[in-house]
A = this chain, B = another copy of it.
Amino acid sequence: MPGRPYHHGNLRSALLAAAERTVRERGVQDLSLRELARDVGVSHGAPRRHFPDRQALLDALAETGFDRLGDELRTAVDAVGDDFEARLRATAVAYIRFATADPALLDLMFAVKHREQAEHLQQAAERAFSVMLEVILQGQAEGRLEPGDPERVGLVLFATIQGIAALLNGGMVVPEQLDELLDDSIAHFLRGSRTAV
């Protein structure tokens, strides 16, 4: 391994890693391509080969964010056995943990203007949310949730979970209230869905 080769070798992933760190620690508005290039030891023009502009880097960050979210949801659900309610709660907790551990990244993931043209990103998002969909399907199969389009049934819960994360990140709910709020939300969801129609 040479001391400082002309070609960085893995500049793209090095930039993404550094960017992810900055976004997490200081927010998107403090992310500078030039600073990133300095951190990684490359000239300020170099990132352009891999990310045509700042937005392209942010889109790439969003995509890896969805990948990581999917992984974390999957891991959380798998770790908890196959009781429906336990899996439901584990999914919610994992989502909220992700969202609060990296608020700026979540914003980035929701901030995609051109969702149609960003095919990769769309797919990454669907992979992530497929974990939640599976849990909904299980709930329907066990008669714990109303039948019908699982996406529709799950949307209310997804919205609530996302809202809880937003309230936490906005400081409108303090962490001490989280358990209670989550219990209430899941209880509402289950009670509301059981004998629906």
List A residues at the B interface (Cβ < 8 Å).
29, 107, 109-112, 115, 125, 152, 155-156, 158-164, 166-167, 169-173, 177, 180-181, 184-185, 187-189, 191-193, 196
Once the chains are docked, how many angstroms separate the CA of A172 from the CA of B110? Answer: 8
- Nearest Cβ on chain B to A11's Cβ, whole angstroms: 25
Once the chains are docked, how many angstroms separate the CA of A98 from the CA of B2? Answer: 56
Q: Are A125 and B193 in contact (CB under 8 A)?
A: no
Give chain A's interface secondary structure class.
helix
Q: Are A159 and B188 in contact (CB under 8 A)?
A: no
A185-B167 contact given A107-B107, A172-B125, A192-B191, CB 8 Å threshold = no
Q: List 7 A-B contacts (CB under 8 A).
A: A125-B172, A155-B184, A156-B188, A158-B163, A158-B167, A160-B160, A191-B196
Once the chains are docked, how many angstroms separate the CA of A115 from the CA of B172? Answer: 9
Which of B115, B163, B193 sits near A160, CB closer than 8 Å? B163
- Nearest Cβ on chain B to A197's Cβ, whole angstroms: 10
Complex interface: chain B residues within 8 A of A169 (CB): 110
Look across to chain B and name the residue whose beta carbon is closest to the beta carbon of A181: B155
Q: Are B180 and A152 in contact (CB under 8 A)?
A: yes
Complex interface: chain B residues within 8 A of A164 (CB): 159, 163
A166-B110 contact given A173-B155, A189-B188, CB 8 Å threshold = yes
Once the chains are docked, how many angstroms separate the CA of A160 from the CA of B166? Answer: 10
Q: Are B170 and A112 in contact (CB under 8 A)?
A: yes
